[in-house]
Structure 1
Amino acid sequence: MRDIIITHQPVELYKILKFEGMARSGGEAKMFIEQGEVLVNGAVETRKRKKIIAGDQIQLFDDCARIVLDEA
């Protein structure tokens, strides 16, 4: 599992998938979410704009990440 550092929260789920390279584009990220391919904290998440905060865990296929807030 890798850490994704964010500087502010919340961040929309599809944006994290897009900007962290888990999906090639925002459209692909939204498609994965709609199809039920994304897990947030172990549960299927189908809301594209789900607000993600520090401590959340995201999984897309075999790519797992934990969200960490950079408070510096």
Structure 2
Amino acid sequence: NFETDFIGDSSIDVWGSISISGNQITITDEGGPYQSSVNGLYSFQVVGNTVSFIEVNDPEEGRRVLIEGIWTKQ
């Protein structure tokens, strides 16, 4: 499960769930004012302390902008 505050005002803007199959992750929004009605599908790869996400199929532009790319664990 996840909760996200995009705006930084301490209120949850979207919440939902994820599922992983092999090297793909499906993101399902379940509620919130910015909830999408469609799932997002991404491939991912973990290397060391980084994980990269590449869009497979996600028509939701806002989610793509936030998810796609390389994330580094700090």
Tell me, yes or no, whether TM beats 0.5: no
Structure with greater contact order relative to length (CA < 8 Å, sep ≥ 6): 1
**Greater Rg by CA:** 2
Q: Give the structure with the larger strand fraction.
A: 2
TM-score under structure 2 length normalisation: 0.31
> By percentage of residues, which structure has more helix?
1
